[in-house]
Structure 1
């Protein structure tokens, strides 16, 4: 069973696109959430958690980070 990965991003975000490519390259399935389509409070919640840049990647089980982090993407376990 694979873990659930959510990527909070925005259209035209270079680091977001790099994150998608890295996730795709590892075979990680993920859901994209466009922050421009979120209600204002949801963006405020991301900021309150300390995330000040996109993308914000949340992995089921508690891991979360912002920015393009190939080192952390490499740690995501992929279902066989």
Structure 2
């Protein structure tokens, strides 16, 4: 599994919940602020088709939007 990226925005409750769940599961990740990186916002909206944060990208085929503890649990099994 490559590096997990969490595309987020400030003051986002679902983003914070996602960070906490990833930290709790000891899953490493990097955060990209969608309000600071225009190319990231374009990638998330135009290429992936998401309209809400956070967007978690594991790889080209495995990504989701919103707080998804079920998906984080599945990731934890692979770490």
Q: Runs of 4 or more off by more than 2 Å in structure 1?
A: none
Aligned counterpart, 1:69: 68
Q: Which has the higher helix share?
A: 2
Larger radius of gyration: 1
Q: TM-score, normalised by structure 2?
A: 0.86
Gaps of 5+ in 2: none
For residues 1-80 of structure 1, the aligned pairs below 5 Å read: 3-39=2-38, 41-48=39-46, 49-60=48-59, 62-76=61-75, 77-78=78-79
Structure 2: distance between partners of 1:4 and 1:62: 14
* Number of residue pairs aligned between Structure 1 and Structure 2: 76
Larger proportion of strand = 2
TM-score (norm 1): 0.85
